[in-house]
Amino acid sequence: MSSDLKKLNKLKKNSRRNQEPKLVERLIKISRVSKVTKGGKKLSFRAIVVVGDENGQVGVGVAKADDVVNAFKKAKSDGRKNLIKLPITKSLSIPHDVKGSFGACDVIMRPSVEGSGVIAGGAVRIVLEVAGVKNVIAKQLGSNNLLNNARAAVCALDNLTTKSQVAKKRNLDLN
């Protein structure tokens, strides 16, 4: 009887693993940072990672640790905590023009025709690719800070809505 329970528990664990989306992690930047203390300089590493499933989910994570591997792992788990869901059209583009800002960084995104690819630079390109958007034009304005540009891109993607969401909201407002 107990062996049957063990098999059942094992099957449940395996099915949970299969249900979890396969997430892709892309590293934006690793930087060496130092903290000056009374005893000298303490070196650590800061990692900026974009996590997504290439099917409409994306998140940006940042973390610091004493070595690169731990910084990457911590940033990856931080990115998983900050995942957002975004709508993607049939042509693997975004539904409409959108703007996002974070700090001194502004990002403008426009949908593009099928086959044009991701026309964007730096961190915004990585965020869009990990999100699963294949046809989009993006421009980053203001600061060139990689972290703020990535967060501005996520902010812009978070502002996307579908026709059904807009219609639902308008119907609620009218009633």
Taking the model in full, what pTM does it have?
A: 0.83
Among 127, 135, 138, 24, CA closest to 89: 135
Confidence class of residue 37 from pLDDT cuts 50, 70 and 90?
very high
Distances (CA, A) of 64 to 67, 100, 110: 8, 26, 34
Class of domain 87-162: alpha beta
Where do the domains of the chain lie?
Answer: 22-81, 87-162
Q: Say which residue, 144 or 16, is predicted with more confidence.
A: 144
Query: Could you name the CATH architecture of 22-81?
Result: 2-Layer Sandwich (3.30)
CB 104 within 8 A of CB 145: yes
**What integer pLDDT is reported at residue 165 of this predicted model?**
82
- Sheet strand arrangement including 40-52: 24-37, 40-52, 57-65, 84-85
CB 38 within 8 A of CB 30: no
- Would the CATH topology of 22-81 be identical to that of 87-162? no
pLDDT surpassing 90 at residue 138? yes
Share of the chain above pLDDT 90, in %: 67
